[in-house]
Amino acid sequence: MTVIAFADSRAFAGRLARAIRAPLRLLREHRFPDGESLVRVDPRAARHAVVVRTLDRPDAKLFEVMLAADALRRAGARQVTLVAPYLPYMRQDKVFEPGEPVSQRVLGAMLAQAFDRVLTIEAHLHRVRTLREAIPCRARSISAAPALARWMRTHAREALVVGPDAESAPWVRQIGRAAGLKWTVGRKERLGDRTVRVHLEGLPAARRAVVIDDIASSGATLAGAAKALLKHGIAEIDAIVVHAIFAPGAQQLIRRAGVRRMLSCDTIAHPTNAIRCAPLIARALEGSS
- The model's pLDDT over 250-288, given as tens digits with 9 standing for 90+, comes to 999 999 999 999 999 999 999 999 999 999 999 999 876
Using one digit for the tens of pLDDT, what is the confidence trace for 160-199? 999 998 888 888 999 999 999 999 998 888 776 667 888 8
Q: Give the model's pLDDT for residue 193.
A: 63
Task: List for the chain the helix, strand, coil content (%; round to 5).
Answer: 35, 25, 35
- pTM of the entire predicted model: 0.92
Which domains are present in the chain? 2-143+277-288 (3.40.50.2020), 145-266 (3.40.50.2020)
Burial of 289 (0-12, 13-18, 19+ CB in 10 A): exposed
Using one digit for the tens of pLDDT, what is the confidence trace for 11-45? 999 999 999 999 999 999 999 999 999 999 988 76
Coil/strand/helix, residue 194 = coil
From the list 162, 163, 175, the residue with the least C-alpha distance to 234 is 162
CA distance 120 to 278: 10
Q: Any alpha helices (H) in 84-188, and if so which ranges?
A: 103-114, 131-134, 145-155, 169-179
Asked whether the predicted pLDDT for residue 289 surpasses 70, the reply is no
